[in-house]
Amino acid sequence: MTEMATFAGGCFWCIEAAFDELAGVESTTSGYTGGDVEDPTYEAVCRGTTGHAEAVRVEYDPGTIDYADLLEVFFSIHDPTTVDREGPDVGSQYRSAVYYHDDRQREVVEAFVEDLEDARVYTDSIVTEIEPIGPFYVAEEYHQDYFAKNPDEPYCAAQVLPKVEKVRTEFNSMTT
């Protein structure tokens, strides 16, 4: 039986492609969550008027990879200390957030962040939002598997590929 996890940490193309590398990840879906507008479009989310973040819903097999492993990868592939920004992407839609699906996930992510802070892994404080999952709106089809379909696109080469390569290198034991 699979479980769901949802993460936001900059452009969803980056997060989706990184998680696609992991054994036990059955599927990833780019979308929008965390806001208050029903059925948002990419253009509306980019204007910053919907309250939504670009996010990725991860369906995974907990018998192969556990939630804490997903968190470890997530916190290593983006900067969780910058408000509303990841690399060149700026705006509330690019915020760092973990949207938990149940109390167990909430407890695990809260303890995970506390451990990172206690270990002073980052120079600045972690600003990642930890919120219950609300409605998740699937992004337009052209956003799905964007990196796999467009690996040579300049943004992908500059922003997505380094995150994918980091997962392949630092988390080799977890990759497919």
Q: Which residues are catalytic?
A: 11
**Residue in the block written with tokens 């892994």:** 121
Tokens of 93: 């839609």
| Cβ-Cβ contacts under 8 Å for 103 (sequence gap 6 or more) | none
Q: How far apart are CA 39 and CA 4, in angstroms?
A: 20
Q: How far apart are CA 126 and CA 83, in angstroms?
A: 9
Q: How far apart are CA 55 and CA 48, in angstroms?
A: 14
